[in-house]
Amino acid sequence: MPPINDDLEGARIMVKLDDLLYARRMTLTDLSERVGLTLANLSILKTGKAKAIRFSTLAAICRELECQPSDLLSYRIEDA
């Protein structure tokens, strides 16, 4: 098995929650109430400051926004 590359420098997971909320004419407060998460936690996710997301949270967001995880998250390698 090849070694795991722990060097994530230059790689980012982009969260596109703002775009999805705008497209669905929904506020972060609306989504917070629908998925049962605090506004603060959703805000951390929206701003890209989250270090992790539970699959159950991801599933709830996708259910309410009628989207796929790939609509919400993307992976990008930034040039150094």
pLDDT of 1-37, one tens digit each?
Answer: 444 444 566 778 999 999 999 999 999 999 999 999 9
Q: 12-70, what's its fold?
A: 434 Repressor (Amino-terminal Domain) (1.10.260)
Over residues 32-53, mean pLDDT: 95
Q: Per-domain residue ranges for the chain?
A: 12-70
DSSP state of 25: T
Helix, strand or coil for residue 45?
Answer: helix
Mean pLDDT of 42-58: 94
Q: What is the pLDDT of residue 19?
A: 95
Structure confidence at residue 78 as a pLDDT band (50, 70, 90): confident
- Contact assessment for residue 15 and residue 46, using Cβ atoms and an 8 Å cutoff: yes
pLDDT, mean over the chain: 89
Whether pLDDT at 68 is above 60: yes
- H or E element in which residue 9 lies: none
